[in-house]
Structure 1
Amino acid sequence: MKHEGAVRRFGPRYGLRVKKRLSKIEAMKKAEKECPFCGYKAVKWLAVGIWYCKKCKRKFTGKAYTIVKKPKVIEKPSEEEQESKEVKAESNQAAQEAA
């Protein structure tokens, strides 16, 4: 293996196998990725498992260096959703007390 790409920075250190793995992971991480919400190829890696779409401005989770097909969105619920959850919880408690 020639010293190519990002692993060139390591020179003769760390061994061939480690550098091949790192090269593969970095290539996956830096490849263009499609946003699962808007379909646009503008997704960037923020931290391990956290991705951000520049077009629709959504933050979502995925795998460490790739995106899964059904991401979990990292957004706080709106006030209406929060209130509806509280109402459901109160009605469930009332039903349990009555039984």
Structure 2
Amino acid sequence: MASSTHKAKGKVTGSAGRFGCRYGRFVRKRVCDIEKISRSLHRCPKCDMESVARKGTGIWECRKCGYKFAGGAYQPQTPTMKIAQRAIDRTVEEIRK
């Protein structure tokens, strides 16, 4: 007997559904996850509003204040960038003391 929680086939493809059955399941899943992140709105580092959108590869712009800045290809703040920013902030704090 079938369970009532069984999902219909093809519902998990999302934006990668345009590839059909090509390229394999994991590649399509990664593409879907990356596109979900890059197409969503992000927090602006200047005005702190969730209105930053991707303009191109590594180019991000706030729709509210117009602040344009460089970031990662698919997200404005990459994990490596966060680590570097922490080191910069720590150095600035040591200089101020």
Q: Which residue pairs with 1:33 in the alignment? A: 42
Q: CA deviation at 1:60?
A: 0.2
Q: Which residue pairs with 2:67 in the alignment? A: 58
Structure-1-length-normalised TM-score: 0.64
Structure-2-length-normalised TM-score: 0.65
The two structures, once aligned, show a CA RMSD in angstroms of 1.7
Name the larger-Rg structure: 1
In 2: Cα distance, 1:58 partner to 1:39 partner: 11
In 2: Cα distance, 1:50 partner to 1:30 partner: 13
- Unaligned runs of at least 5 residues, structure 1: 71-99
Amino acid at match of 1:2: G
If each structure's strand is expressed as a fraction of its own residues, which one has the higher value?
2
Question: Does the residue aligned with 1:42 lie in a helix, a strand or coil?
Answer: strand
In 2: Cα distance, 1:59 partner to 1:5 partner: 29
Question: Does the residue aligned with 2:50 lie in a helix, a strand or coil?
Answer: coil
- Unaligned runs of at least 5 residues, structure 2: 1-8, 86-97
Q: 2:10 aligns with which of 2, 7, 15?
A: 2
